[in-house]
A and B are shown apart, each in its own frame.
Chain A
Amino acid sequence: MARLLSLIRYYNELSIFLLFFIICLLLIAIPSRFKLDHIKRFNRYILSPVQMTTVYLASIHDMEEQIDSLRSENARLALELSKSRDLRRENDRLKKLLEFIEESGVGFLPARIVSISLNEPLTTVLIDKGSADGISPYSPLMTTEGLVGKVLEADKHTSLVELFTHPQFRASAVVPSKGEMGIVRSAGSTLLLTGLSANTKINEGDRVVTSGMGGVYPEGIPIGEVVEVTEDEIGIEKVAKVLPYISLSSLFEVAVLLDEAYLDSDTTKLRRAQGSLMWLWDEGNVEERK
C-alpha cells in the first residue's frame, strides 16, 4: 500500500513536472507573431517598482562609496596642494637668500636649519653646515630680513647657533638715524636696547642695526625696530624695547658670514668689526629683492 502511495505521489509529481515542462516548451515554440510581448511587459510592469527601489538603494550605496572616494581624493589633493605651496615658499625663500648672497659679494654660506632646540622659547638651532664648510665659532648668521645670531659651536658638518632670543645674546647696536649706540640683549621674544642716556632722542619706529663695535657682528645688520622707550629701574638711563625683524617661526634658511671672507681685504670690502654691511639693506637693494 505504502509502495502504491509512493508510486502515486511520484507520478503525481512527475505529471506536474511534465505539465510545466510542456507549457514551457509551448511558450518557446510559439512563433513571435503571436506577440507574447505583453506578458513580458506585464511581468516587467509588476516588477518595476521593486527593481526601481532596489536600484535606488544600490545607487545610494554607490553614492556613499563615491562620496568616500571623493573625500579621500580631496584630502590627497589638499595634501598635494599644501606640499606644492610649501615647495614654492621654500623656493622663493632660497631664491631670495641666494640673490642676497650673490649681490653681497662677500663670503656668505647658505645653510639650512635642520633641528631646533626643544626648549621654549627657542634659543638655539642646529644648521647643516660645519667647520668643514668654513664655519667657525662666532660666525654671524643673518637672513635677508636681518640678524639671526651667531655660531656657538662648529662641528664638522653641523653647527649650533645661538639665536637672538638666547639669554646670553649681546650685540653692540646703533640707531643710525640718531647716532646713538647701546647694547642689544635678549628679553624673551623681544630685545632690549640698553645703555642709552637719559636724554636719548630715540623714538618708536627707529631702526636698530649692529654697530660693528663688539667684534662679532659686522656693522649695519638690521636687528629690529624700536617699539617702546622706557626708563630703567634706577632711572639713570633709558631702555628701548626692540621688535626683531626676524620671525623665528618662519626661519628655515640662513646665510652664515664666513670668517675668511671678511678677513681677506683683497677680495672683499669687509674686515671683522671694520667693514660695513649696511649697504646690503639699503632701500634700493631691499626693494630689488622684494
Chain B
Amino acid sequence: MISRKRTVALIFLLLLCQLVIRRKISYVNGSTGQVLGPDFLLLSVVFAGLGRGVVWGVVTGFFIGLVQDSFAPMYFGMNALIKVMAGFVSGRVGARVFLHTSSIVFFLIVGLKYLNDLLCFMFGYMDGYRNPASQLLFFSPGSALYTSITGLILFWIMVYLNETPGRRHK
C-alpha cells in the first residue's frame, strides 16, 4: 500500500503530466483533431485506487472527472461517472490481488481505458459529436496501449522505489 502523502504527490504529478507533457508525447491527427496519447488523468485515478483502496479511487475519480467535465462540451458529470467507476474497479482489484505482476496492471489499465473511451464516445455520440465505431476501432486501441505502457513504466518505478501499488486481501 502506498502512503497517503505519496499517493497525493503521485496524483499531482500525473495531473501535471497531463497538463504539460501530454501534448508533447501525443500523436495529433491534424484533420480530425483526434489525439493518441497517454491518459494521465485515468492513470492518476487507477493508481489512487490501487494504492489506497476503493474510497480513494472513487473520490479521486469523482473530482478529477468533474474537472475534466468543466472543459468538456458534453454532459456535465459524465467524466466524473466514468472515473468513479474506474476508481472503484481499481480499488477492488488492488484489494484482491497482490500487485507485483506487471500483466495485471497492464490489462487493468487497458480495460479501464477502453471502457472510459467506450462510455465517452457513447455519450458523445448521443450529443452528435463523434462516431463511436471509428473511434473505438481506430483510436482507442492505440490510446489504451499507450496509456497502459505509460502506466507500466510508472508501476515499475514505484516497485523500484519499494512502493507496492496494491495489497493482499485479508
Q: Does A13 contact B (CB under 8 A)?
A: yes
* Interchain CB contact under 8 A, B76 and A16: no
Total A residues in contact with B, Cβ cutoff 8 Å = 28
CA distance A2 to B59 in the complex (A): 26
CB pairs A–B below 8 angstroms (17 shown): A13-B55, A13-B91, A13-B92, A14-B54, A16-B54, A20-B61, A21-B85, A23-B80, A24-B62, A27-B81, A28-B77, A41-B70, A43-B67, A43-B69, A44-B71, A54-B16, A61-B24
CA distance A58 to B91 in the complex (A): 34
Chain B: which residue is nearest A25 at the CB level?
B81
Q: Does A50 contact B (CB under 8 A)?
A: yes
Given contacts A27-B77, A28-B77, contact A13 B66 (CB under 8 A): no
Residue from B53, B66, B91 in contact with A43 in the complex, judged by beta carbons closer than 8 Å: B66
Seen from chain B, the residues whose Cβ lies within 8 Å of a Cβ on chain A are 16, 19-20, 23-24, 53-55, 58-59, 61-62, 65-67, 69-71, 75-78, 80-81, 84-85, 87-88, 91-92, 170
A contact residues around B75 at 8 Å (CB): 28
Chain B: which residue is nearest A41 at the CB level?
B70
CA distance A159 to B92 in the complex (A): 89
CA distance A50 to B87 in the complex (A): 24
Chain A: which residue is nearest B23 at the CB level?
A58
Question: B35: shortest Cβ distance to chain A, in Å?
Answer: 15
Chain B: which residue is nearest A27 at the CB level?
B77
CA distance A110 to B38 in the complex (A): 67
A contact residues around B23 at 8 Å (CB): 58
* Interchain CB contact under 8 A, B84 and A20: yes
CA distance A43 to B55 in the complex (A): 22
Chain A: which residue is nearest B75 at the CB level?
A28
CA distance A40 to B75 in the complex (A): 11
Within A33-73, which residues are at the interface with B (CB < 8 Å)? Answer: 36, 39-41, 43-44, 47, 50-51, 54, 57-58, 61
B contact residues around A21 at 8 Å (CB): 81, 84-85
CA distance A26 to B67 in the complex (A): 17
Seen from chain A, the residues whose Cβ lies within 8 Å of a Cβ on chain B are 2, 6, 13-14, 16-17, 20-21, 23-28, 30, 36, 39-41, 43-44, 47, 50-51, 54, 57-58, 61
Given contacts A20-B84, A47-B67, contact A27 B20 (CB under 8 A): no
B contact residues around A51 at 8 Å (CB): 19
Residue from A6, A30, A39, A50 in contact with B19 in the complex, judged by beta carbons closer than 8 Å: A50
* Interchain CB contact under 8 A, A23 and B170: no
Chain B: which residue is nearest A51 at the CB level?
B19
CA distance A72 to B24 in the complex (A): 21
CA distance A58 to B69 in the complex (A): 23
CA distance A17 to B45 in the complex (A): 14
CA distance A105 to B75 in the complex (A): 91
Given contacts A27-B80, A40-B76, A43-B69, 12 further A-B contacts (CB under 8 A): A13-B91, A14-B54, A17-B84, A24-B80, A27-B69, A27-B76, A27-B81, A28-B77, A30-B76, A36-B76, A44-B70, A47-B67
Question: B22: shortest Cβ distance to chain A, in Å?
Answer: 10
Question: B90: shortest Cβ distance to chain A, in Å?
Answer: 11
* Interchain CB contact under 8 A, A28 and B76: yes
* Interchain CB contact under 8 A, B77 and A16: no
CA distance A31 to B54 in the complex (A): 30
Chain B: which residue is nearest A28 at the CB level?
B77
Question: B127: shortest Cβ distance to chain A, in Å?
Answer: 12
B contact residues around A16 at 8 Å (CB): 54-55, 58-59
* Interchain CB contact under 8 A, B70 and A47: yes
Residue from B59, B70, B78 in contact with A20 in the complex, judged by beta carbons closer than 8 Å: B59
B contact residues around A28 at 8 Å (CB): 75-78, 81
Chain B: which residue is nearest A53 at the CB level?
B19
* Interchain CB contact under 8 A, B77 and A20: no
* Interchain CB contact under 8 A, B70 and A39: yes
CA distance A2 to B67 in the complex (A): 38
* Interchain CB contact under 8 A, B55 and A40: no
* Interchain CB contact under 8 A, B54 and A17: yes
* Interchain CB contact under 8 A, B88 and A58: no
CA distance A39 to B71 in the complex (A): 11
B contact residues around A43 at 8 Å (CB): 66-67, 69-70
* Interchain CB contact under 8 A, A40 and B70: yes
